[in-house]
Structure 1
Amino acid sequence: MVSSPAANSSAVATQTTPTAAASVATPTLSAEERKFFAEYDLSSLIAKEPDDHEVMNGFYGPDHYRIEFALLEVRRDPANPAHYFVKGKNRFKKAVTPFEGDILFTQLGGQTPLTKAPEYYPAKDGKEYLAEVNAVNAYSSLGTFTLREEASYKGAGVFKGEVLVDFAVGDGGEIRPYCRDDKQNTRGGYVVFDGTWTNSETKQQKPVLWVQNIFEYQQDILRNFLIGERDPDFNPKYAKLGWDTYWQNEEWWAEPGQLTVTEVETAHSSADVAADSSAGI
């Protein structure tokens, strides 16, 4: 799934190709991997940005109905830098349920270099494109996750499975979401959670998969999921599966009394207008 790091990815230059995720209880990280996780905190790649409407979206159950996840707090374990504590909420249809749990990264590798540029690039531009994208220090990290819904909520259960994160490390050490090839690893989703939900009482199980970047994710779950090229949108035939409300920007994850993103934006806009007015603009 994840290739050995490219030659320019010196931090883990001897890593081998990760396969299935290792046991949570007995991760087998190399010394180089442990050093990498100690140096780079991946929480910002996974957590929802507090000043943004965007949440993770995905597919739940046998009919692949839309489900949303807001990972509101992702905190690295001081005792194990490959381990992260997670808190958040999910929304399925109109039901909002809090959860908490953890992520344990078990493997790290570099993204495979591209060998072919997109067809719309002329030959010369294609070579330049390949040189540019392959020069990026691009990584993928594979791990396991367990997210337990709050037991007091009706039908609460446990999400469990594998998580994969694609990212790049800049020359200054900054990290950002990055997928070199949308046919590999997260396939453009940047962060992919893939697993099952198990009802805590009945033990009924349902498949679930959600991603950070639903518009770039090359999914094979729903046919013709997106339509349009310049400004893609969801296929109207999937409105019945919950995708007709995507653009509503409901801040369903906000706690009572908490300032929402919309309220913050409105306050900033009002302050700017007042400042312009006082300046005579």
Structure 2
Amino acid sequence: MEVRPKTGSSCIFLILLLLQAGMIACNRTSKNEKAASDTLSANQVVTDTLSVQTSKIEEEDSRPPAKLLLEITPQEYLDILVKYDLSPLFLNADYKPQSAVYNGFYGTDHYRIEMYFASVTKDQKNPTLYHITGKSRYKKNITPFKGEVIVDTAMQFSNSNISPENTNVKGVYKTTGTFILREDSTLAGSGVFNGTVSIEFTLLTDSNTEFWYLNEIEEEEGADLVFDGEWVNYKTGKSKSVIWAKDIYSIGDSILEDFTIGERDVMINPKYRKLGWDSYWENAEWWNDSPHAKL
């Protein structure tokens, strides 16, 4: 006798199978849709972030540069040097006596050295040439010198942050050149300083010049005037590095680690007192005390 399944039971069983398959499919679809939604949201975040970053970069790129040096022709520079005298910049004539001394670093240990310019005169025939006399002090040794500075190249700042109301400023320039300062060869341990010099200054409508303080030159770090070179002993030929500047604070940290400390009241780090900086605030006019006053 043949036994046949009941038709009703088979239908119910088939319907249950179909419903289960449908639920699984729906669940997979829901998960896929959620994953796709999450991916879309993540991509949108990245896109929005990149958009903001790109917008920020474009905004920064659209800003005018803080400084931009433009070349000027040799004739333009010569015209400036003929009309203007840069010697007051070298002399620090408008400052207190102790400010007439330039401080710097000498040798591999970067011991303090002081340079005093007693006179700076512009050559009557060559407007790029300046004659200098003065003295150096290293530890307790005071030695007179004389020499020359040649300022042979210049560039102009196209954006120098000059206020429109400041009509007294005609332009801001950076000039570079070379120097050689010869110590008295009859004195023991004497030699010659030589190297490069750079100055950042303004031309004024009254035919005067002054240092420019509102820009920061990358090379000089805002020091306004920097002499960078070496000292060579006359007899032995041995050399030592030397650098001095109008504003020693602005270059000190690039020479010695943490040379300056403090934020509002900046001072020289006490750990460098042993390198000659313990007498930095003394006002003794050592250049007038030397027995070798003149060459």
Query: What's the TM-score bracket when you normalise by the shorter of the two chains?
Result: 0.7 to 0.9
Structure 1, 88-97 or 163-172: larger mean CA deviation: 163-172
Number of matched pairs:
220
TM-fit CA distance, 1:215: 2.7
Structure 1, 214-223 or 232-241: larger mean CA deviation: 214-223
CA contact (8 A) 1:188 1:218 kept: no
Query: Structure 1: which 5+ residue stretches go unaligned?
Result: 6-13, 17-29, 115-129, 258-281
Higher-helix-fraction structure: 2
Distance 1:91 1:256, change over 3 A: closer
Residue 111 of structure 1: aligned partner: 157
- For 2:85, which of 21, 24, 41 is the aligned residue? 41
What are the residue-to-residue correspondences of 1:55-204 with 2, within 5 Å? 55-111=101-157, 113=159, 130=161, 132=163, 137-204=171-238
Distance 1:182 1:131, change over 3 A: closer
Q: Which amino acid aligns with 2:133?
A: K
TM-fit CA distance, 1:178: 1.2
Per the normalisation by structure 2, the TM-score is 0.69
Distance 2:110 2:222 in 1: 19
CA contact (8 A) 1:89 1:253 kept: yes
TM-fit CA distance, 1:188: 1.5
Q: CA RMSD in A?
A: 2.4
CA contact (8 A) 1:192 1:209 kept: yes
TM-fit CA distance, 1:112: 5.6
CA contact (8 A) 1:3 1:109 kept: no
Q: Which amino acid aligns with 1:182?
A: E
Q: Which amino acid aligns with 1:43?
A: S
Per the normalisation by structure 1, the TM-score is 0.72
Runs of 4+ in 1 over 4 A off after TM superposition: none
CA contact (8 A) 2:179 2:196 kept: yes
* Aligned sequence identity (%): 38
Query: Structure 2: which 5+ residue stretches go unaligned?
Result: 1-66
TM-fit CA distance, 1:229: 1.6
CA contact (8 A) 1:144 1:160 kept: yes
Q: Which is higher, the Rg of structure 1 or of structure 2?
A: 2
Describe the superposition over 1:199-225 as per-residue Cα deviations: whole angstroms up to 9, x where unpaired: 000000100000011133464111111
Residue 247 of structure 1: aligned partner: 281
Distance 2:281 2:262 in 1: 16
Residue 72 of structure 2: aligned partner: 15
Q: Secondary structure at the match of 1:244?
A: helix
Check if 1:229 corresponds to 2:263. yes
Check if 1:32 corresponds to 2:76. yes
Distance 1:158 1:179 in 2: 31
Residue 23 of structure 1: aligned partner: none
